[in-house]
Structure 1
């Protein structure tokens, strides 16, 4: 007798036209916008992820300079290759280092380190907030509950205040706001 294969009931494959369940748990998306691809003219749907700094700017919680400082830090963070999984080339050349960082990456790492020093170091509340919320783009709520400061959870309203303070210091560090001198 041949053994019969049982069908799995209830395990429907996820739709490829919507964000995965894993991606949805990390932040909301706007409704899809249907438009034509500029190169081919074929219709496509775009989904936009929620931008924490953009929402805070729109709500008036932060200034344009703070938003720009956050964007600059995020760009440095990505250029420094601190945000993703390590990648390996498909073709390895004998005698070459596969994971060598370019001078551009190293310069970005120096600038990120300087910014973290201006925030009080990577173990400070502002340094942790900059690393996880601005650099790794974790939501403020997720950072507050998972990472927090010193491994302790922080209440979400306090975490948002920490983010505002962090962005203010970054704006001063990057020279986006004039520094006032005490008399």
Structure 2
């Protein structure tokens, strides 16, 4: 007696791993691929950079190039200060060493971030909070405005974007990218 013939199982269509997935594309756009060499091995690689909030605002004309550069300077200082990193325990412990020591670069970056936040009104002010979360931690304006509020009221989207524009204008003046006469 002859057995039933098994149907061939069709292979699932695999996504092209060189491109962002459908899930990732629904959360924001990407720039075109940039070809470069890997600094460690020298092999050619393609980088796809996620388009950030400041880049989209610059492209739409909502902010000036000086405001964008001020945001990038603040973001660089924020990263150098290691405010966004999570502390981990050391796998190899050396007796007499401290884990929580900061380098001089981190201390200087933290001092400059603190000076910029003081100029913006401190951590609890709208501009200071916007600089910390949107520019430093790279939250979207929508995410920040949904979690932030003053006097029992949340910040609406267009108001949040206006706060970000004001923050970037003040940072541009603080970092010397815009003369004081033009900033006012």
Contiguous gaps of at least 5 residues in structure 2: 1-14
Residue 172, structure 1, aligned to residue 173, structure 2 = yes
Residue 76, structure 1, aligned to residue 77, structure 2 = yes
Corresponding residue of 1:48: 49
Larger radius of gyration: 2
4+ long deviations beyond 3 Å: 15-21, 31-38, 44-47, 148-152
Corresponding residue of 1:125: 126
The structural deviation recorded for 1:162 is: 0.3
Q: TM-score, normalization: structure 2?
A: 0.77
The structural deviation recorded for 1:24 is: 6.9
Matched residues in 1 for 2:152 and 2:102: separation?
30
Residue 62, structure 1, aligned to residue 63, structure 2 = yes
Corresponding residue of 1:8: none
The size of the alignment, in residue pairs, is: 165
Corresponding residue of 2:6: none
Corresponding residue of 1:162: 163
The structural deviation recorded for 1:74 is: 0.3
Q: TM-score, normalization: structure 1?
A: 0.77
Contiguous gaps of at least 5 residues in structure 1: 1-14
> Given that residues 144 and 153 in structure 1 are in contact (C-alpha distance below 8 angstroms), is that contact kept between their aligned partners in structure 2?
yes
Question: Alpha carbon RMSD of aligned pairs, Å?
Answer: 3.0
Corresponding residue of 1:104: 105
Corresponding residue of 2:96: 95
> Given that residues 70 and 170 in structure 1 are in contact (C-alpha distance below 8 angstroms), is that contact kept between their aligned partners in structure 2?
yes
